[in-house]
Structure 1
Amino acid sequence: MFVSVLLAAAAMTAIVALRYLATSAGFAFATRLKRPGLYAGQHAQIWREIGWSLLSAAIYGIPAGLVAWGWQAHGWTRIYTDPRAYPLWWMPLSVLAYLALHDTYFYWTHRAMHWPWAFRKMHAVHHASRPPTAWAAMSFHPWEALSGAVVIPALVFLIPIHVGMLGLVLAIMTMMGVTNHMGWELFPRFIVDGPAGRWLITATHHQRHHREYRCNYGLYFRFWDSLCRTDRGLGNFEDAKRAT
């Protein structure tokens, strides 16, 4: 059993690391094309971000490996493969439920990371990326990475989700993490300044957090920031080119 668990954790660590490298590299290349010179002079920072992120990949991979092993070997989780096991409408609803719960968890743990002692001990690693780049999304201190690594594995024991929808949740998590940190706005103005932008977080919203620290703590949605009056709105659209 121990060997099986170890192999599953190693496999998931490799998957998380490769997903991070592929996604970040893709958006770093897009940055080079769309905003040439944006990351000039940040080579040392980028290598530091990659180093912390690969360590975070191992921390994320271990609980993910335990979940994968428990699901395949014992059926312990509520992940399912038969689309007929639940009504089809549950598939998109389960994605929304996972994103909403993840966003809630992230908002409150992220705010806690900004308490002075927690910031000094942990979260300062992430904010050392000034400005952040496409490589910074997983650049965490190990304790912060551990706090983020447990939420999706915990949810699969509580809320049923099709394996394909779980893959979609992880893809959204990765894409939004990278695009919100890459230093420029991917989405057009009509989305950022329109109705969708009043609910969804993009680089223009998150870059203000990296500039001012005490606002805009959310991950996917602006709900908790709005409710708790920590939403200071969008930075200037062009400011997202350089989140300082």
Structure 2
Amino acid sequence: MLSALIASAAAMVAIVGVRYLLVSGAFALATARVRPGLYNGLKPQIRREIAWSLSAAVVYGVPAGIIAWGWQERGWTRIYAEWDAMPLWWLPVSLFLYLFAHDTWFYWTHRLMHRPRWFKVMHAVHHASRPPTAWAAMAFHWTESLTGALVIPVLVFLLPVHVSVLSLVLTIMTVMGVTNHMGWEMFPRALVHSRLGNWLITASHHQRHHEEYKCNYGLYFRFWDHLCGTDRGLSRRWQQP
């Protein structure tokens, strides 16, 4: 059993690390094409971002690998693979609930990590990226990585989720984490400045967090920022292709 657990954890670490390299690499390449020169002079910073991100892949991957083993071998979790195990309407509902729960956890832990003592220990590594790049999405100190590594593993024990929906949650988490740090806005102005855009976080919104620190703490949605008065809108310097 121990060897199987180790193998599962190692496999998941590799998956998380490779996924990071592929997604961040793809958007870094897109940045070089769409915004040539945007990352000029940032090679040492990017190397640090990659190193911290790969260390974060270990922190994220180990518990995920253990839970994946437990799901397949012991029936742990409420992950299901059969389409008729739950009503079909639960698929979009569970997607929203997972994203909202993750966003809630992220908002409040993120705010906590901006308190001076917590910031110095946990969050300063991430904000050392000035400006952040497409490689910075997982550039965390291991203590911060632990907070991010807990939420989805806990949720799969609490809320039923189809394996395809869980995969979509992880994809959205990865893509939004990367695109929110690119330093330019990939989404059309019509969406960003729309009524819907007022509730969604994109690069132009998160960029302001990296400029001013004490605002715009969310990950997917602006609900908690609006409710708690921490939303300061979009970066004044946001760019659109």
Give me the TM-score of the superposition, normalised by structure 2.
0.98
Structure 1 stretches of 4+ moved >4 Å:
none
Quote the Cα distance in structure 2 between the aligned partners of 1:92 and 1:115. Answer: 35
Q: Name the % identity.
A: 65
Q: 1:63 offset after TM fit, Å? A: 0.6
Q: 1:197 offset after TM fit, Å? A: 1.0
Which runs of structure 2 are paired with 1:1-244 in the superposition (5 Å)? 1-236=1-236, 239-241=237-239
- 1:187 match: secondary structure: coil
Q: 1:241 offset after TM fit, Å? A: 4.4
Structure 2's unaligned 5+ residue stretches are: none
- 2:29 match: secondary structure: helix
- 1:83 match: secondary structure: coil
Structure 1's unaligned 5+ residue stretches are: none
AA aligned to 1:11 is A
Count how many residue pairs are aligned between Structure 1 and Structure 2. 240
Over the residues paired in the alignment, what is the CA RMSD in angstroms? Answer: 0.9
AA aligned to 1:190 is A
Q: 1:240 offset after TM fit, Å? A: 2.8
- 1:185 match: secondary structure: coil
Quote the Cα distance in structure 2 between the aligned partners of 1:240 and 1:113. Answer: 25
AA aligned to 2:81 is T
Quote the Cα distance in structure 1 between the aligned partners of 2:109 and 2:32. Answer: 33
Quote the Cα distance in structure 2 between the aligned partners of 1:174 and 1:30. Answer: 16
Q: 1:196 offset after TM fit, Å? A: 1.8
Partner deviation per Cα, 1:40-97 (whole Å, 9 max, x = no partner): 0000000000000000000000110111011000011100000100000101110100
Partner deviation per Cα, 1:99-132 (whole Å, 9 max, x = no partner): 0000000000000000100111110000000000
AA aligned to 1:240 is W
AA aligned to 1:2 is L
Quote the Cα distance in structure 2 between the aligned partners of 1:134 and 1:197. Answer: 21
Quote the Cα distance in structure 2 between the aligned partners of 1:54 and 1:233. Answer: 31
- 1:105 match: secondary structure: helix
Give me the TM-score of the superposition, normalised by structure 1.
0.97
Quote the Cα distance in structure 2 between the aligned partners of 1:240 and 1:115. Answer: 26
